[in-house]
């Protein structure tokens, strides 16, 4: 499966303004574009977190949520999520839930590259065997929700900024109890 080669440029209301090559779009003044952020659980209620590949242009070797990507101009956000789960992890998703609308902007100090995205957050479930794409992912961990929060807190400076904020939105969205039966009340991000 091929990865997206462009990003969809948008205004602050998510109206399409055009497209731009993905690598060319990410620089010190990255234009606002569409993305998505996914927290993937298996049916044993374990969350997959990933360390981004050393080959990534933005935040290489940082820990992050299960996967992120960019929908193509011909796709809905959800279609982009399903395509990208196959590209990064080699899996199909059995369930997908929209958790929150999210927009962020952050700059990586080491490279001065900015991320600037309208980036809905999703929780997904799959029990398929994961085969990571080494161009995208260095390594993965499967952790119980409370273990993932502890890991995040212990390695906070090694996590992508959007993942830290998205963890909090997932925790506060009451989706964990509804979707995987994990209580949010006992964990703190």
User: Hey, which residues are catalytic here?
Assistant: 68, 117
SS3 (DSSP) at 167: helix
What is the Rg, in whole angstroms, of the alpha carbon atoms belonging to the chain? Answer: 16
115-124 burial, b for 16+ CB within 10 Å, e for fewer? bbbbbbbbbb
Question: Contacts for 55-61 with beta carbons within 8 Å, 24 or more apart?
Answer: 55/135, 56/136, 57/23, 57/26, 57/111, 57/113, 58/26, 58/108, 58/111, 58/113, 58/115, 59/108, 59/160, 61/138
> Hey, how many other C-beta atoms are within 10 angstroms of the C-beta on 90?
14
Identify each DSSP E strand in 103-179 by its residue range: 103-108, 113-118, 121-125, 137-144
Confirm if 83 and 2 have CB atoms less than 8 A apart. no
Q: Is 38 helix (H, G, I), strand (E, B) or coil?
A: strand
């Amino acid at each position: 499966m091929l990865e997206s080669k462009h990003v969809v440029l948008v205004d602050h209301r998510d109206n399409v303004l055009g497209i731009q090559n993905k690598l060319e779009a990410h620089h010190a003044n990255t234009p606002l574009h569409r993305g998505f952020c996914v927290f993937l659980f298996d049916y044993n209620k374990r969350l997959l977190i990933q360390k981004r590949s050393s080959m990534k242009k933005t935040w290489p070797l940082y820990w992050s949520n299960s996967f992120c990507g960019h929908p193509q101009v011909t796709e809905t956000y959800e279609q982009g999520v399903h395509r990208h789960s196959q590209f990064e992890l080699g899996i199909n998703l059995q369930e997908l839930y929209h958790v929150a609308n999210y927009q962020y902007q952050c700059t990586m100090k080491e490279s001065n590259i900015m991320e600037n995205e309208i980036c809905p957050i999703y929780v997904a479930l799959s029990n398929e065997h994961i085969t990571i794409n080494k161009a995208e992912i260095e390594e993965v961990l499967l952790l119980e929700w409370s273990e993932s929060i502890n890991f995040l807190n212990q390695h906070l400076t090694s996590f992508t900024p959007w993942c830290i904020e998205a963890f909090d939105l997932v925790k506060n969205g009451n989706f964990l109890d509804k979707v995987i039966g994990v209580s949010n009340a006992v964990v703190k991000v």
